[in-house]
Amino acid sequence: MKASVVLSFKSLAGPTDSPPEQRTSSHSRKNSWRYCLDHGSSIRYWLFVLIAGSRCFHAKYSQRFSVEREVGPWKLTAFQRLNFTADDVLESLTMTDKILGMGSTGTVYKAEMPGGETIAIKKLWGKQKETIRKRQGVLAEVDVLGNVRHRNIVRLFGCCSNNECTMLLYEYMPNGSLDDLLHGKNKDANLVADWLTRYKIALGVAHGICYLHHDCDPVIVHRDLKPSNILLDGDLEARVADFGVAKLIQCDESMSVIAGSYGYIAPEYAYTLQVDEKSDIYSYGVVLLEILSGKRSVEPEFGDGNSIVDWVKSKIKTKNGINDVLDKNAGASCLSVREEMMLLLRVALLCTSRNPADRPSMRDVISMLQEAKPKRKLPGTGDNAIAAIPLAQKANVEC
């Protein structure tokens, strides 16, 4: 019986069964292979993680370093002798919170330099996708503007730039702009200029634009002449600012966005897209109408789609309409002042002629303005001077 049981077990095991020692050795080899496979997969996984992580790290930080190299160091290009450095300019911007103005081209800050000078810093809006060629074009144009020297043009001290940002350094104008004088918040209280002051400003602007058109080589066309771009120094002498800046920020060949401001753009620009000296003459005529009327270039009372040019031309066709055009705050109620203002009104209408060929040159404008020079002088002024009343007083013209 026992023998049969043993034989039956042997028969179940089969003739190919190995001895117990061989079975143990085979089992250990299988476990070894399984161990190697498991650990090999783990090693491959962690190796993959390590390689992927190192590549991400390298891509991130190499990009950051390349951006830093592209931005580059700050460079100060001076157009006259300066007592400050690029580091002084950057430090002054971090310490100032005085914003003088903000427009389509950038933000203007008032900044104090270590030597005590007060300057205006215009930080142009940067464009990250600007090409190197366009940045070089900006600096080349700044170099042209840096050579401009005229008493009625704001001096450009220099340009502070790197490959990503450009800052223009101007002389500081303590009395703000013509826009502040004519349309400021305190106009109804005390900021009112009499006709002598307004005439002086109009003549100064004409001299500045005449210099750009006739005495500069190549000719500089302002392309954005308006009261906010006409600054006033301590003596209320007009200084034309931001001339050529539209060119500085030009990003393509089209000028449909940056060549002028609404209400000051010559009508031919709508169908030619050409801006030349005659375009500046038109803008000057609009500024002259603002000086005469005290109104903005575009106001709701003019009607939809109408500018101050349309409004003035419609008013002068009506009886006594001229009374609505000339600003009484400038002294228009006085007969002699009124006559002088009407002479300049004729100049303004010539400048804003619809046909560019009918507009005078700026030299002709200056000749006409000088013929209309006020015959009165304020007490304490010289023979050739035209004084301005203090800003804190109302205009009080003696007829």
Going by the annotation, the residues of the binding site are 123
**β-strands 118-124, 166-171 pairing:** antiparallel
Binding-site residues for ATP, please? 123
Q: Among all chains, which residue has been given the structure tokens 């001299």?
A: 207
What is the end-to-end Cα distance of the chain in Å, rounded?
152
**Which of these, 245, 256, 213, 218, lies nearest to 138 by C-alpha position?**
245
Q: How many angstroms separate the CA atoms of 25 and 23, rounded?
A: 5
Provide the token pair at 33. 């292979």
Asked if residues 201 and 208 have their Cβ atoms less than 8 Å apart, the reply is no
Q: How many angstroms separate the CA atoms of 4 and 11, rounded?
A: 10
Judged by DSSP in three states, 63 sits in: helix
Judged by DSSP in three states, 394 sits in: coil
353 contact partners, CB below 8 Å, separation of at least 6: 359
**Which of these, 189, 159, 162, 187, lies nearest to 76 by C-alpha position?**
159
Q: Is 153 exposed, middle or buried (0-12, 13-18, 19+ CB in 10 A)?
A: buried
**Which of these, 84, 73, 70, 72, lies nearest to 169 by C-alpha position?**
84
Residue 17 catalytic? no
Active-site residue identified among 88, 179, 224, 242: 224
Phi, psi for residue 192 in degrees, rounded to 5? -130, 125
Q: How many angstroms separate the CA atoms of 44 and 293, rounded?
A: 83
Q: How many angstroms separate the CA atoms of 41 and 47, rounded?
A: 10
**Which of these, 114, 105, 388, 78, lies nearest to 226 by C-alpha position?**
105
**Which of these, 70, 67, 65, lies nearest to 132 by C-alpha position?**
70
Cis status, amide bond into 218, omega within 30 of 0: yes
Kindly list the catalytic residues: 224
